[in-house]
Structure formats: structure tokens, C-alpha cells
């Protein structure tokens, strides 16, 4: 019952995505299964920091990735903050839990010459699917949107007159992202062909991106389009839409964009999430210094 109230709180108060809520539900269930098996209780008032710490240790002994362990700790921290808010516990055992250290991972991105190859018009067919697939890649690179955001974009959320796209991000936060004029002919051509695909439909389909059968394009389909395109022109192991989001941010930073502006464009809630892109720039400067300085 408490777990259900907590999940409702995440849904309606925190406005977490369905994917995030499912992850929280899974992690909490795993935690309570462990506690009941090891300590024969599911009473939240009886669970102290020793019990929680033993769960964390068991996860690490099972060789679980430290990032995954930290995610589970975050889930419990959020859960206990909720319990305190509801007056269901009098103290927070998570205050004594120390998260394991994790190695910093630099965002994977495509360099500019390879990105130009990925977007080269000659790599795409001149039919509807070719126009659509190129537009998908161009939109990711031009706006830095998330996969879920691009899937949800409707016709009235994109404006050729004002050169901007409106997206609904995490926690239902709306933001407007500008794009360059080079997208106008791509969007115009696609929309013209799109009308031919949807011409026989009795009701208009709202999603911007559709299949040649006039169905909304799914996230899985977009993922494969991006993965295949990046695989043809890069040697990156990671070839997801999120790589294009990283590429968007990294190239903006390299060209002198203010990091606070990049934060707003990406829809980050804190600057700390955006600052990870500065590490790529620092690494690039280190390499330049190493190659160019006479003392190296």
C-alpha cells in the first residue's frame, strides 16, 4: 500500500515518466524481497541503515555495476524522503548510506567531419522513407531532443515560420528549441510527401513522424534508423539517438555556446548535468597541448 502511494506521488506530484516509475517500482520490490528474506520483516519502521547497508553490500558482492547500485540508492533516498513527508517514519536511515564511487564516463559523440558524412544527402533515397530518415537525423542533431521527445512531436509543435520546435520533456516540462533555416526545405519536402501518405485517411494523424503505412513511428524504429546510419559512417560502439544529443551539445560548446544556454536547450534541470560536456572540451585541449607544446 505504501509503495502504491509512493508510485502515485512520483506520477502526479513529481511527474516522473512511466519508464522511470517502472524502474523505481522494480528496485523497491527487489529491496523488500531482500529485507524479508534476510531479516523476516517488511516493516519500514524496523528497517535501519544497517539493513540498507547490507543490501548495498550484497549488490556490490554480486558484481552489480556501481552506477546501477547508485541508482537503487537514489530510489531509496527518494522513497524515504516521501515517508518522512508523510510522517510514516521519524528518521531517515539513508543519511548514513554512502554511495560507491563511479568512474566518470565522458559523453560519446560524433566528430564534425563524420557527422557531415552521416547527414550527406546522397546516403538517403529520394522517396518518402529516405526523406523521413534524413529528417530524423537532422532533427536530433539540430535540436538535441531526446528520443521520447521526438517521438511525441506533433504537426502543430513545429513552426517553419518562427523556426522553432516545441517539445514536452521530462516531468512534463515544455521547452521551445530554435533550429536553423537549412531544415526548412527538408521539412517542406517531407511534409509534402507525408500528405500523400496520409491522403486516404479519414482523420489526420497528429504525429510529425510516421511510417509509409501512415502509422506513428515508434521509438524502437527511430533507434534502429539512427543506429544503422551511424554504423555506416562511424566506428562508435554506442550508436543511439542519445549519441546525437551528446553530439549536439558538444559541438555547440566547441563553437563557443554558453553552457547555461545549452542547459536550457537540452532541458536539464541543473547545470551539473550539462557540465559533463565540458570534460570533452578539456580532454581535447589536453591532447592539443600534448601535441603542440615543445616540452611534451
| Structure confidence at residue 275 (pLDDT) | 84
d(CA 294, CA 221): 50
**Angstrom distance (rounded) from CA 199 to CA 99:** 56
Quick check: is 194 catalytic?
Answer: no
Cell numbers describing residue 59: 549488490
**SS3 labels along the chain:** CHHHHHHHHHHHCCCCCHHHHHHHHHHHHHHHHHHHHHHCCCCHHHCCHHHHHHHHHHHHHCCCCHHHHHHHHHHHHHHHHHHHHCCCCCCCHHHHCCCCCCCCCCCCCCCHHHHHHHCCHHHCCCCHHHHHHHHHHHHHHHHCCCHHHHHHCEHHHEECCCCEEEEECHHHCEEEEECCCCHHHHHHHHHHHHHHHHCCCCCCCCECCECCCCCECCHHHHHHHHHHHHHHHCCCCCCCHHHHHHHHHHHHHHCCCCHHHHHHHHCCCCHHHHCHHHHHHHHHHHHHHHHHCCCC
Catalytic hit among 49, 117, 123, 268: 268
Residues whose CB falls within 8 Å of the CB of residue 123, separated by 6 or more in sequence, listed in order: 117, 229, 232, 233
233 part of the active site: no
Give how far Cα 248 sits from Cα of 31, 73, 103, 153, 253, Å. Answer: 38, 31, 24, 19, 9
The predicted structure's pLDDT at residue 222: 97
pLDDT at 272: 82
Segment 223-259, tens digit of pLDDT: 999 999 999 999 899 999 999 999 999 999 988 899 9
| Cell numbers describing residue 32 | 523488500
Active-site choice (146, 246, 251, 263): 146
Which residue among the candidates 123, 166, 170, 175 is catalytic per the annotation? 170
- Catalytic member of 245, 246, 251, 263: 245
Amino acid 283: pLDDT:
60
268 carries an active-site annotation: yes
Q: How far is the C-alpha of 121 from the C-alpha of 133, rounded, in Å?
A: 11
pLDDT attached to residue 1: 73
Domains of the chain: 2-96 (1.10.150.130), 112-291 (1.10.443.10)
Segment 25-49, tens digit of pLDDT: 999 999 999 999 999 988 999 999 9
Distances (CA, A) of 204 to 50, 65, 160, 196: 58, 46, 19, 12
Q: CA nearest 138: which of 185, 193, 170, 192? A: 185
- What pLDDT, on the 0 to 100 scale, is given for residue 94? 95
* Given 114, 117, 166, 242, the catalytic residue: 242
**In the sheet that 158-159 helps form, which strands lie side by side, from edge to edge?**
158-159, 164-168, 174-178
Confidence (pLDDT) at 203: 77
Whole-number Å distance between alpha carbons of 203 and 31: 47
pLDDT of residue 280: 63
pLDDT given at position 295: 59
> Which stretches of the chain score pLDDT less than 70?
103-104, 279-296
Look at residue 290 in the predicted model and tell me its pLDDT.
Answer: 65
**Is 5 annotated as catalytic?**
no
**What is the per-residue pLDDT for 284?**
62
- Catalytic residue at 245? yes
**What is the pLDDT, as a whole number, of residue 15?**
87
With vertex at residue 221, the alpha carbon angle to CA 12 and CA 72, rounded to the nearest 5 degrees, is 40
Amino acid at each position: 500500500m505504501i509503495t502504491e502511494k509512493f508510485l502515485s506521488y512520483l506520477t502526479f506530484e513529481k511527474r516522473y515518466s512511466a519508464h522511470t516509475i517502472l524502474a523505481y517500482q522494480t528496485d523497491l520490490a527487489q529491496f523488500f524481497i531482500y529485507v524479508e528474506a534476510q531479516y523476516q520483516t517488511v516493516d519500514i519502521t524496523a528497517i535501519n541503515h544497517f539493513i540498507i547497508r547490507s543490501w548495498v553490500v550484497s549488490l556490490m558482492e554480486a558484481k552489480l555495476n556501481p552506477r546501477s547500485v547508485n541508482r537503487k540508492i537514489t530510489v531509496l533516498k527518494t522513497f524515504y524522503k516521501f515517508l518522512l513527508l508523510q510522517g510514516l517514519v521519524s528518521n531517515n536511515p539513508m543519511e548514513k548510506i554512502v554511495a560507491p564511487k563511479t568512474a566518470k564516463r565522458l559523453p560519446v559523440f560524433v566528430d564534425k567531419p563524420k557527422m557531415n558524412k552521416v547527414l550527406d544527402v546522397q546516403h538517403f533515397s529520394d522517396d518518402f522513407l529516405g526523406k523521413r530518415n534524413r529528417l530524423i537525423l537532422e532533427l536530433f542533431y539540430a535540436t538535441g531532443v531526446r528520443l521520447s521527445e521526438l517521438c511525441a512531436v506533433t504537426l502543430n509543435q513545429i513552426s517553419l515560420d518562427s523556426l522553432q520546435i516545441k517539445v514536452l520533456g521530462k516531468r512534463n516540462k515544455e521547452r521551445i528549441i530554435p533550429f536553423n533555416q537549412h531544415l526548412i526545405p527538408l521539412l517542406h519536402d517531407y511534409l509534402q510527401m507525408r500528405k500523400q501518405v496520409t491522403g486516404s485517411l479519414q482523420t489526420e494523424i497528429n504525429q510529425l513522424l510516421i511510417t509509409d503505412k501512415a502509422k506513428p513511428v515508434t521509438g524502437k524504429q527511430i533507434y534502429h534508423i539512427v543506429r544503422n546510419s551511424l554504423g555506416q559512417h562511424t566506428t562508435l560502439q554506442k550508436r543511439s539517438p542519445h549519441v546525437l544529443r551528446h553530439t549536439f551539445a558538444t559541438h555547440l560548446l566547441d563553437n563557443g555556446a554558453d553552457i547555461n544556454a545549452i542547459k536550457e536547450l537540452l532541458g536539464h534541470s541543473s547545470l551539473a548535468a550539462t557540465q559533463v560536456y565540458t570534460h570533452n572540451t578539456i580532454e581535447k585541449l589536453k591532447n592539443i597541448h600534448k601535441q603542440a607544446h615543445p616540452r611534451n
